[in-house]
Chain A
């Protein structure tokens, strides 16, 4: 009897404690979200009030958020922004896919074969240290300003991080894994696909994520120099027409695209490979 009462009392205390902790955590999350919102609001307010604070400022050169939004909405409804986004995404996506296939293949090959590693190491590292953006003028001379030139630039830029991280991942596969696989009679191909690649996957994914960010950067550089569509083309048009508001829209779109795709990638990897929590 007394035991029962004691147990009930303990249970009550436990739930009360858990409740308190949960509500404290909820409060913390709410507080943080509130502060986040505050930060954005303060930033926008400051930006909006710059012309009021500095009366001499040129509003064309420094458009306020309200002006930018007023330009933004008609461009969305007229379909100008969606078409440009699609054009940019198609280029970045194609280049990224090509780089993924080539980068992983090259990484696996150079890491698994000593001779290939030594033969290609100085060359690949040499090419890697040349900024891809500096290749834009060369690519314009060689391949013109068509789609192929842009896609190949993106692929070039995205290739190196994927190669490097695949190489490191495959090279550093624990030797015990390889020996165990060999003892169990795995062939070269089975070892590759069932042992080496899964073991190297976290690093490959990290490389892919970095390559995605680089694809966007290279895409911008490629589109700024000679294109007829795309988000960065829109920006360079804005530059030539002295429409700083359009340039701001381009910047925001690029930021949003980079952010969204990075998040999507992280979500996808969490979904597909829940055991790689990093």
Chain B
């Protein structure tokens, strides 16, 4: 760094005297320096990330020991939580709970988002359908899906049906809204070009409008995955016999806060992984939708 600062500036005339090789060499050195700087910054960032997590864990671990009177049963340190986590991972109970939650999420997501895309296409293309359904759909949308949990139990009992129904209900709205916006805002020129090339209404719908609206549809689907993970917890907190939400409410009943933490950790990890997997899949399948990457 210092050496470069004190090096004599290259005279203007010397520029012409440099051979192609020397120019290339200077350019390459410049590139290397930039790359090294970026790597250094990245390393420092990662290090700070790690330090932050470590400080948090250390404070959490130390707090029950340093502050007298803290009940470790109520406030389990990370070491206790990790021990419980390892125990639950080895006996397979955590995987079983996560699996049954995932199954519900997947089923509800598929139903809800299919309905959302279809209704979004319909309301986005037909002004009549939009005007007819707008107040009802927006009215239903503003009711928090969680508030339907008691009603779902009254109507569908305690089995899988109410949970899948609730998740479908919750995922429908974000997918519908963003599909609708995407379809409504398809450039008129695309549709007109397709029409003048003799495309049929169905062709226009599935080969012009839907692909053009796809980034919006995906944004809605991604939002819906997050919603699905919230609702599955709410649905499982009351009246379930498996699942991560059940794990949390069960450990609440038996006062095992360490198990609650394991449930929370697993939920956070699942939600995060699902979102990351979704983003990665999107980039893989539709690499041309760049804007989705940071959405």
Contact = CB atoms under 8 A, between A and B. Distances in A.
Interface of A: 31-32, 35-36, 38-40, 42-43, 61, 115, 118-123, 125-127, 129-138, 140-142, 216-217, 220-221, 224-225, 232, 235-236, 238-239, 242, 244, 247-248, 250-252, 254-256, 258-259, 262
Contacts of A137: 237, 248-249, 252, 260
Nearest to A232: B147
Interface residues of B, number: 56
Pick from B52, B138, B144, B260 the residue with the most CB of A within 10 Å.
B144
Contacts of A31: 131
Contact of A217 (B49, B146, B155, B244): B146
Given A220-B147, A255-B140, A258-B144, A133 B237 contact: yes
A277 B270 CA distance: 37
A200 B112 CA distance: 35
B257 interface: yes
Contact of B48 (A118, A126, A252, A255): A118
Interface of B: 44-45, 48-49, 51-53, 55-56, 74, 127-128, 131-136, 138-140, 142-151, 153-155, 229-230, 233-234, 237, 244-245, 248-249, 252, 255, 257, 260, 263-265, 267-269, 271-272, 275
A187 B248 CA distance: 50
Please list the 7 inter-chain residue pairs (A to B) with the smallest Cβ-Cβ separation, ordered nearest first. A118-B48, A35-B131, A119-B52, A255-B143, A137-B252, A239-B150, A39-B132
A123 B78 CA distance: 14
A250 B268 CA distance: 30
12 contacts: A32-B131, A61-B154, A115-B48, A119-B48, A119-B52, A126-B272, A129-B269, A130-B271, A220-B144, A220-B147, A251-B147, A254-B142
Contacts of A142: 74
B67 to A, nearest CB: 15
Contacts of A255: 139-140, 142-143
A116 to B, nearest CB: 9
A123 B59 CA distance: 13
B102 to A, nearest CB: 14
B137 to A, nearest CB: 9
Contact of B151 (A220, A221, A247): A247
Nearest to A126: B268
A171 B60 CA distance: 30
B14 to A, nearest CB: 33
A251 B49 contact: no
Given A131-B271, A137-B248, A235-B150, 5 more contacts: A115-B48, A119-B49, A130-B267, A134-B237, A138-B260
Nearest to A252: B143
Contacts of B148: 251
Contacts of B52: 118-123
A254 B144 contact: yes
Contacts of B230: 131-133, 217
A118 B138 contact: no
A133 B136 contact: no
B142 A259 contact: yes
Pick from A142, A239, A252 the residue with the most CB of B within 10 Å.
A239
Contacts of A135: 264
Contact of A42 (B132, B140, B263): B132
B212 to A, nearest CB: 22
Pick from A61, A250, A255, A259 the residue with the most CB of B within 10 Å.
A255
Pick from B48, B53, B127, B271 the residue with the most CB of A within 10 Å.
B48
Contacts of B45: 118
Contact of B143 (A119, A238, A254): A254
Contact of B146 (A119, A129, A133, A248): A133
Contacts of B153: 239
Nearest to B51: A119
Given A130-B268, A134-B264, A259 B139 contact: yes
Contacts of A138: 248, 252, 257, 260, 264
A141 B253 CA distance: 10
A126 B60 CA distance: 15
A136 B140 contact: no
Nearest to A62: B155
Contacts of A131: 229-230, 233, 267, 271
Nearest to B244: A134
A37 to B, nearest CB: 8
Nearest to A157: B230
